[in-house]
Amino acid sequence: MIVVTGAAGFIGSCLVSALNEKGYYDLILVDDFSKDEKAPNYEGKRFSTLVERRDFHDWLEENHKMVYFIFHIGARTDTTEFDKSIFDDLNVDYSQKVWKACVEHGIPLVYASSAATYGLGEHGYDDNHEVIEKLEPLNPYGDSKNEFDKWALKQAKKPYFWAGLKFFNVYGPNEYHKGRMASVIFHAFNQIKKNGEVKLFRSHNPEYKDGEQLRDFIYVKDLINVCLFLMENRKHSGLYNLGTGKARTFLDLAKATFASLDLEPNISFIDTPADIRDKYQYYTEANMSKLKGIGYEKEFTSLEDGVKDYVQNYLEKASYY
């Protein structure tokens, strides 16, 4: 059995599809399955059973002998949520229980960390373990991810293989349910369909022109390829960046979305919402040398090619991966 937590969500459901494509069908999908809008993400996929998030720890105690690998992708990911207790419960305490079970029962683990841990990038975007204690995330979500990373590194007992993946700006199919937290590409597509234009956040930093804020955008299918690589090559435990290693502007992203629809760009700017303005990352770019150094050789999809696949094969058809 392979366990995927967060299996009804964006990245988790894409991982389930990719595992199916690889011939893995004995899958345990863990999530809060009460949210009907997430159901299409896992309907039609092949798996053994659904396990409610609150029941997973008990289920694992009873079934651990049959578990081959755990992908702990589930988390509270809302960067606009400022109730720390929610993140302590779902992102820290819950993850610690998963980690301890993997240690006790000899189960390898890949879990989702985040580039939100890097804050404004004061200490760079290098995934070496020495910098983790110095990082200054900008919101409770980033704090929770960094707190768990720090906790994991301090543990005397670790799973015999583990990897924490610092996801950068992920986009791609199966994010219809995410609302405000969906990727800019998702919102751009819907704006174009509705109004024929895209509104991007204006820069409130004099070092960046409007639309030239830079992010490391990674297509979800590339991210999943790395997850599968780590499952199949369980040798080098640790924290790993997971971006493309090449920052691109939001203007590039918007233009690629228009191009995928065979339309001329029509882009304007609006103020960044006040509730996130002071917590806004103007630049992120993953140093990917560590992952490549352990043998990962696949090239990452270009922004233009990733947006084209996402728009034409999923958003235009309202289909799922």
Task: Quickly list DSSP for 253-310.
Answer: HHHHHHHHTT----EEEEPPPHHHHTT--SB-----HHHHHTT--PPPPPHHHHHHHH
Residue 215 phi/psi, 5-degree rounding, is -135, 155
Q: What is the number of other CB atoms lying within 10 angstroms of the CB of residue 306?
A: 24
Q: Is 141 an active-site residue?
A: yes
Q: Is 178 an active-site residue?
A: yes
Q: Please name which of 148, 87, 86 lies closest in space to residue 112, comparing C-alpha atoms.
A: 148
Extended beta strands in the chain, E state? 2-5, 27-31, 49-52, 69-72, 109-114, 162-167, 169-171, 198-201, 214-215, 217-219, 238-242, 248-249, 267-270
Q: Which one from 45, 84, 178, 308 is the annotated catalytic residue?
A: 178
Q: Are 121 and 64 in contact (CB under 8 A)?
A: no
Q: Which one from 94, 125, 141, 219 is the annotated catalytic residue?
A: 141
Catalytic positions, please? 141, 178
